Amino acid sequence: MLTLENLETWLTLFDEKIHQHRDYLSELDTAIGDGDHGNNMVRGTEAVMAALQEKQPETVADMLKLVAMSLIGKVGGASGPLYGTAFLEMAKIANSTDNLAELLQAGLEGIQKRGKAVPQDKTMVDVWFPVVEAAKADALTEQTIWDAAEATKPLVAKKGRASYLGERSAGHLDPGAVSSAYLFSALLEAGAV
């Protein structure tokens, strides 16, 4: 169940993890992209934390919407609008459900509608998709999350910058899949699952 309290904890833990792993995320993106994913994500989560301090939203829907706007507004790369759309789609249904699986499903649909990626395209969708399935089955664990991120390694990228490399994108983890793994690891730690 997503509440105002565990949502705020989730976002705080996500911001911490992104800061801790900023260099690693950029290294992953250096191999198959343009090397900015760690910095893009830090800019995004810092903007989220600043907006929360300033506005102090009082409902889950308002908080999710503020997250979305901060990410869409402040992150230059492809990942900002994609994560932002996910939070925006969650915000849209948050007044009618607090069910985590339903909320994450809406987020995933937003990412796919915007970015047109399907599973196996070597994107963040490769983590979001199995996480949503596991959440629906009430079986989300760290193992599910990290296995999903790890599974992007052999794939050939079909979407985003990494797809410009064709076959040469194989053999590397997808940076957005790894940042999504931090997102869901933070969700577990926040106790929202």
- Residue nearer to ligand ADP on the CB measure, 1 or 118: 118
From 21-29, 50-58, 87-95, 177-185, span contacting Mg ion (CB under 5 A): 21-29
Establish how many alpha carbons lie within 13 A of residue 30's alpha carbon, considering only the half-sphere containing its beta carbon. 8
When asked if residue 38 is in the footprint of ligand ADP (CB under 6 A), the reply is no
Cβ contact 95:116 at 8 Å: no
| Smallest distance, ligand ADP to C-beta of residue 27, A | 12
C-beta of 5 vs 23, nearer to Mg ion: 23
What are φ and ψ of residue 122, in 5° steps?
65, 60
In the numeric block, the tokens 């939203």 are attached to 57
Structure-token pair, residue 78: 């492809």
22 interacts with ligand ADP by CB under 6 A: no
CB of 150 to ligand ADP, least distance (A): 14
In the complex with Mg ion, the residue whose CB is nearer, 77 or 130, is: 77
70 binds ligand ADP (CB under 6 A): no
Helix (H) or strand (E) holding 28: helix 22-32
Is the separation of the CB atoms in 13 and 182 below 8 Å?
Answer: no
Q: Of the ranges 6-14, 27-35, 91-99, 135-143, which one interacts with ligand ADP (CB under 6 A)?
A: 27-35
Q: Name residue 2's amino acid.
A: L
The residue within the footprint of ligand ADP, chosen from 2, 49, 71, 82 (CB under 6 A), is: 82
Least distance from ligand ADP to the Cβ atom of residue 171, Å:
15
Encode burial over 88-111: b for 16+ CB neighbours within 10 A, e otherwise.
Answer: bbbbbbbeeeeebbbbbbbbbebb
Which listed residue (15, 36, 102, 126) binds Mg ion by CB under 5 A?
36
